[in-house]
Amino acid sequence: MGCTFCFSKTEEQPEMALNSFKICSKCENNKTSAKTSKCGCFLCPTCRDIIIDSFEGVCTVCHNSILNPIKHSKHLPTENKGAKLKNPEPLKKSNRLKTPVIYECEICLGEFSRDQMLTLDCNHYFCSDCLRDYFHKLLKEGKHKMDKKFPCVKCQAPINTCLIQSVLDHNDTEIYNKNLLENYIVECPCCSYVFTSDHKIAKCSKCAFHFCSLCKRSRKLCLCKSSERFSKCPVCLNKFIKKEDCTKIFCTNQGCKVEFCHICFALFSPILEHGNHYHHEFCRYYCEYLGNDDKYKNLCVMCKKEGKLCSRPM
Return per-residue pLDDT of the chain as tens, 314 residues. 445 444 444 444 444 444 445 677 777 766 666 777 777 777 888 888 888 877 777 777 777 778 765 444 444 444 444 444 445 555 444 445 556 678 888 888 888 887 788 888 788 888 888 888 888 888 887 765 555 677 888 887 888 888 888 888 888 888 888 777 776 778 888 888 888 777 778 888 888 888 887 777 777 666 665 434 445 666 666 654 555 445 667 776 667 777 777 667 777 778 777 777 777 776 777 777 766 654 556 777 777 777 777 776 65
Distance CA 248, CA 283 (A): 13
Distance CA 220, CA 211 (A): 8
Of 68, 87, 105, the residue that ends a domain is 68
Q: What is the largest CA-CA distance in the chain?
A: 97
Q: Among candidates 105, 96, 156, 97, which has minimal Cα distance to 128? A: 105
Residue 147 counted as domain residue: no
The DSSP call for residue 295 is: G
Look at residue 183 and give its three-state secondary structure. Answer: helix
Distance CA 253, CA 238 (A): 7
Residue 18 counted as domain residue: yes
Residue 272 counted as domain residue: yes
Residue 16 counted as domain residue: yes
Query: Domain range holding 16?
Result: 1-68
Of 51, 68, 85, the residue that ends a domain is 68
Residue 20 counted as domain residue: yes
Of 68, 84, 110, the residue that ends a domain is 68
Residue 41's alpha-carbon distances to 15, 26, 112, 128, 163, in angstroms, are 14, 9, 26, 19, 11
Residue 117 counted as domain residue: no
Tell me, rounded to whole angstroms, the distance of Cα 304 from its chain centroid.
36
Residue 119 counted as domain residue: no
Distance CA 47, CA 133 (A): 30
Q: How many domains does the chain have?
A: 2
Residue 61 counted as domain residue: yes
Which backbone phi and psi does 298 adopt, to 5 degrees?
Answer: -85, 130
Burial class (CB in 10 A: 0-12, 13-18, 19+), 132: middle
Q: Among candidates 205, 224, 144, which has minimal Cα distance to 213? A: 224
DSSP assignment string, 214-262: TT--BTTT-----TTT--S-TTT--S-EEE-SSSEEEE--TTT--EEET
CATH code of 50's domain: 3.30.40.10
Q: What pTM was estimated for this model as a whole?
A: 0.40
Which backbone phi and psi does 245 adopt, to 5 degrees?
Answer: -155, -160
Distance CA 160, CA 120 (A): 8
